[in-house]
Amino acid sequence: ALVKTKMSFLKFIKTVMPAFVVCISSANFGAAFNTIFDDLFSVNVDTSTANLSVNLGSVFFQPACTLTFVFSSLFMATEYGVEITAVWVVMAILLSVVLVGTMPNIPGASVTVITLLYAQLGLPAETVSLMIAINAILQFFTTGIDVWCLQSEILCIDCSQKTKDKV
């Protein structure tokens, strides 16, 4: 994002850090919603780009949650002796992507996703309770990282649009 937007590292950190701090302290995307807009508008991101990207991104763009679900599934399968095949891995990835897209952005919503994902992958029931306990801590970090990634992507999109408009 820094190279593409020609933004200094310090300015980038000042732009994305307030929303990241709100998310990492609350595990709630909604709590940082206004902060995200304020941060993006402070660096002159186009209003229509910010409105569309933040609203859609808050639902569908959650890379940290997706990776957490995929890798936790792999870990639990390894620990509990579930056979991991290529088809199983593809299913874990596809189900994680789809289920994260259906998950509301509220704290604790991942409990339903974990339950559905692990059941579909044939993981034992005790893995669900274990992951729910672990996820209570991980959710703070995944929400913060998701917001950090979303703001970085929006900055890149905005820069691309402004560059295209100049040509």
How do residues 107-153 score in pLDDT, each as one tens digit? 788 888 899 999 999 999 999 999 999 998 999 999 999 999 999 88
Calculate mean pLDDT across residues 44-68: 87
Structure tokens at 57: 């991104």
Beta carbons of 76 and 123 less than 8 angstroms apart? yes
pTM of the model: 0.84
Judge whether residue 33 has pLDDT over 70. yes
Q: What is the mean pLDDT of residues 63-87?
A: 95
Task: Say if residue 65's pLDDT is above 70.
Answer: yes
Within 8 A by CB and 6+ apart from 12, the residues are 1, 2, 5, 152, 155
Alpha-carbon distance 158 to 155, whole Å?
Answer: 5
* Cα–Cα nearest to 158, from 50, 2, 33, 34: 50
For the chain, how far is it from start to end, CA to CA, in angstroms?
Answer: 20
Lookup: tokens for 60: 């569908």
Q: What is the pLDDT of residue 163?
A: 62
Q: How far is CA 50 from CA 24, 63, 97, 148, in A?
A: 21, 19, 23, 14
Contact 45, 155 (CB under 8 A): yes
Residue 162 has pLDDT above 70, yes or no: no
What's the maximum distance between 2 C-alpha atoms anywhere in the chain?
Answer: 58
The tens digit of pLDDT for each residue in 78-104 reads 999 999 999 999 999 999 999 998 888
d(CA 71, CA 134): 13
pLDDT for 107 equals 78
Helices (H), 27-124: 33-42, 47-60, 63-79, 86-102, 110-120
Mean pLDDT of 46-58: 85
